[in-house]
Amino acid sequence: MENKITRHWSAGVFLLLMLACCVNLSAQRIRVQGQITDRNGKGVPNANVFSSEKKERIDMSDEDGRYSVLADKNASLKFTCIGYEDYTVKIGNKQIIDVVLKEAVFALDEVTVISKVKNKVVPEPTDIEIKGNYFHLKTRVPVPKEMFNSHRRLILQPSIYDVTEKKRLLMQPVVFDGEDYHVSQKRMYDYEPDRDPLNAYVRVKETSTRQGDVIAYHDSLYIENLKHDYRADVHIAMENYRNIVYRDSFSIARGTVNPLRFLEYKFSAFSLTDERYIPKPIMQLRDTKGEVNLTFLVGKASLDDRNPRNQIELNRLNSELRAIENNPDASLRSFHIVGIASPDGGYENNQKLAGLRTDKALERILSQLDASTRKALELKSAAQVAPWKDVVGLLRKDGLVKEAAEIEGLIKQYGERTYRLNKAVKSTSYYDKILSVYLPKLRKVQYTYGYSIFRSLTDEEIKALYRQKPHDLTRFEYYRLLVTAETQAEKEKYGKEAIEAYEGFTYAANELAVLNIARDTPDASILAPFVGRSAPVELLSNQAIALLHEGKYMKADSVLTLAPAGTVPADLEAIVLAMSGSHEEAFERVASTSPLNEVVMLLAMKKNEEAWEKAVKLNAGSAKEYYVRAIAANRLDKIGEAILNIEAALSLDPSLLEIARIDGDIIDLLPEEQKIKNTLEK
């Protein structure tokens, strides 16, 4: 019994110790996650995460560079990725570990490594061929038999490197799996291959040869700026289940093959001729005033018919009102009348008399107008009594300064509108003259009529309005400013303001584009918002010219497809087709424009023999002609001819050296010191 207890106790202790060990081991493993980025903060996908504990890959980062692993907290994590330097970090107690990988610096030779080198995966040298805005990269990658086995994965990552902007553009990768490695990958991802970020690119090696394998590669990449310096690189990595066993990098092409850079063309801009896009004048209501003065008999509400001036005024008033009524662009809006009585006598009686004169005059005048016109009028009337100070003004105007001063003194003494002032004035020695000459001038009715008339502003009025209230200008008035602009600077200013003030102002935008094309500074952003199937062909043509200037050949081609067939100028259409890659379709038209263009097109189509035959017949009076002749000669391995022609070209135009340094057809012809200088500069 005792022995049994002892055995049971021993077994229990052993079990407890085992559990303690398991708990201890479990406690050592923690979840670690984070993000792998480059120095610009962009996530690095497909990066390997290795554990120093197992010395094998335990995870691969997703598209955003994120990873998540279970690992021993006393272990280290190693991060690797093609094109970046390896990075190792101790876990400690950190559960969040973000990693920044540095781009690996590879010595990329200008000349490809000779293919006889053993134990290397060496891509064949090639050219970057340009077709439209697409860079085409074709190469073959021999894989020596001794380098690759069934338990390995080979990853090829071609890229185009923009030397000018120091920017790398990745192309489609190639993933070459051995059969056993591929099976292991399936198991690792629980037979869900899509969990492998590289699955879409995997090719499985299923053949066996003594010589090894050859991987053929062809991919294209859209490039916006064709004037930069480019090269093609291939980063290569080979891994087994645990480590990256081989890594290398090669430059397989320097410069671009693009003879169309020498295609000569020049297009004038196109102004709009379709009246649909020329703004129609918008007539504006312009307020105008007229005024009539009529005199009345003393103490009466009747007009003074003895005064010939009254009839003249009435005739003029009737004529003006009738003209307004009969003008379809004019409308009588208001009629204001004020009846005025002279100040002699009692103020209340004079005020009443002024009112009677107003009513009588209004009745007589309005009777001449159409009933509908009278109904629409804004009528205002008022009655006033002229003050004695108006008499002072009339006296002073006639040079009667003494009399004016006396009346002015009486006004100050007795005040306006008083019986005593009237009595004092009547007692003056010159009252009879005031009564017969000056008081009649104050007995009158004044008419003010307001009318609005629709009319277009004159060019001078438009300019005046622009100076005062530019935001009040209509489209038509901006159109007139553009048409009458005296300088190109003025026209540009008006054009920019017009398209800011009026969205969709097609005419103004096109004129601004025409201006830029004329001074050889086309700007495709001006017309971009107006491009569409309904856009006028002139506008589409101008946009294509601007896109050609900016090197956006594919976009220029897509713009011209919006125009109805046969409406685009034939030369423009042919050049756009050629530059966007439709060489055969454009050849006949473009070749007919000049002998040089014919040679350039033949070179673009790789008809090198025919290009050489045509090139030798060129007058070769220009640097460009020597240059394209050098291309044709070099392609046919006529090295002596090629060197002579490129030297002649550079002698005539030294600036062509900048092109030669990035031209895949010429770069190998440059003197060694120029190559060295080029390398140092880049």
Going by pLDDT thresholds of 50, 70 and 90, the confidence category of residue 604 is very high
Helix (H/G/I), strand (E/B), else coil: 30: strand
Beta-sheet pairing, 244-254 with 99-100:
unpaired
DSSP 364-425: HHHTTS-HHHHHH-EEEEEEEE--HHHHHHHHHHTT-HHHHHHHHHHHHHH-TT-HHHHHHH
CB 161 within 8 A of CB 233: yes
Helix axes 506-518, 488-501, angle to 10 degrees: 150
For the segment 146-153, the average pLDDT, to the nearest whole number, is 87
Query: How far apart (Å, rounded) are the C-alpha atoms in residues 619 and 595?
Result: 9
For the segment 546-565, the average pLDDT, to the nearest whole number, is 93
Range of lowest pLDDT (317-326, 378-387, 586-595) = 317-326
pLDDT score recorded for residue 646: 93
Question: Chain centroid to CA 425: how far?
Answer: 81
- Any bridge partners for residue 221, and if so which? 135
Query: How far apart (Å, rounded) are the C-alpha atoms in residues 87 and 78?
Result: 6
Going by pLDDT thresholds of 50, 70 and 90, the confidence category of residue 528 is very high
H/E segment holding residue 219: strand 213-222
Q: How many CB atoms lie within 10 A of CB 313?
A: 20
Q: What are the backbone dihedrals phi and psi of residue 13, each rounded to the nearest 5 degrees, phi first?
A: -60, -45
Query: How far apart (Å, rounded) are the C-alpha atoms in residues 555 and 132?
Result: 10
**Angle (CA) 49 216 128, round 5°:** 95
For the segment 509-534, the average pLDDT, to the nearest whole number, is 94
Alpha-carbon Rg for the chain in angstroms: 48
CB 45 within 8 A of CB 173: no
Give the residue with greater pLDDT, 681 vs 661. 661
- 137 pLDDT above the threshold of 60: yes
For the segment 244-258, the average pLDDT, to the nearest whole number, is 86
CB 264 within 8 A of CB 596: yes
Query: How far apart (Å, rounded) are the C-alpha atoms in residues 310 and 294?
Result: 5
- 489 pLDDT above the threshold of 50: yes
User: Which single residue is written with the structure tokens 């004079």?
Assistant: 350
Beta-sheet pairing, 128-131 with 153-162:
unpaired
- 164 pLDDT above the threshold of 60: yes
Give the residue with greater pLDDT, 5 vs 474. 474
- 32 pLDDT above the threshold of 90: no
DSSP 8-state assignment for residue 199: G
- 5 pLDDT above the threshold of 50: no
Mean of pLDDT over the chain: 83
Q: What are the backbone dihedrals phi and psi of residue 473, each rounded to the nearest 5 degrees, phi first?
A: -70, 140
Contacts of 168 by beta carbon, 8 Å cutoff, 6+ apart: 83, 159, 160, 161, 162, 233
Q: In what order do the strands lie in the sheet with 29-37?
A: 66-72, 29-37, 99-100
CB 343 within 8 A of CB 393: no
Give the residue with greater pLDDT, 208 vs 399. 399
CB 664 within 8 A of CB 256: yes
CB 171 within 8 A of CB 221: yes
CB 89 within 8 A of CB 77: yes
pLDDT score recorded for residue 448: 74
User: Which single residue is written with the structure tokens 């007692």?
Assistant: 427
- 588, 509, 522: which is closest to 555 by C-alpha? 522
Distances (CA, A) of 619 to 481, 624, 642, 660: 49, 11, 16, 21
CB 65 within 8 A of CB 44: yes
- 246 pLDDT above the threshold of 50: yes
For the segment 615-624, the average pLDDT, to the nearest whole number, is 88
- 61 pLDDT above the threshold of 50: yes
pLDDT score recorded for residue 268: 94
Beta-sheet pairing, 284-295 with 444-455:
antiparallel
Question: Which of 253-257, 305-309, 313-317 ranks highest by mean pLDDT?
Answer: 253-257
Contacts of 622 by beta carbon, 8 Å cutoff, 6+ apart: 596, 652
For the segment 244-265, the average pLDDT, to the nearest whole number, is 88
Going by pLDDT thresholds of 50, 70 and 90, the confidence category of residue 7 is very low
Going by pLDDT thresholds of 50, 70 and 90, the confidence category of residue 601 is very high
pLDDT score recorded for residue 680: 36
pLDDT score recorded for residue 110: 37
* Percent above pLDDT 70 for the chain: 87
pLDDT score recorded for residue 8: 39
- 108 pLDDT above the threshold of 50: no
Question: Chain centroid to CA 378: how far?
Answer: 52
CB 674 within 8 A of CB 682: no
For the segment 587-597, the average pLDDT, to the nearest whole number, is 95
pLDDT score recorded for residue 578: 94
Please classify residue 96 by burial: count the beta carbons closer than 10 Å to its beta carbon, then call 0-12 exposed, 13-18 middle and 19+ buried: exposed
User: Which single residue is written with the structure tokens 């077994």?
Assistant: 11
DSSP 34-99: EEEE-TTS-B-TT-EEEETTTTEEEEE--TTSEEEEEEETTSEEEEE-TTB--EEEE-TT-SB--E
Distances (CA, A) of 229 to 256, 352, 662: 8, 97, 6
Query: How far apart (Å, rounded) are the C-alpha atoms in residues 300 and 463?
Result: 52
- 496 pLDDT above the threshold of 50: yes
Give the residue with greater pLDDT, 361 vs 622. 622
Give the residue with greater pLDDT, 446 vs 513. 513
Query: How far apart (Å, rounded) are the C-alpha atoms in residues 628 and 605?
Result: 14
Please classify residue 435 by burial: count the beta carbons closer than 10 Å to its beta carbon, then call 0-12 exposed, 13-18 middle and 19+ buried: middle
Going by pLDDT thresholds of 50, 70 and 90, the confidence category of residue 116 is very low
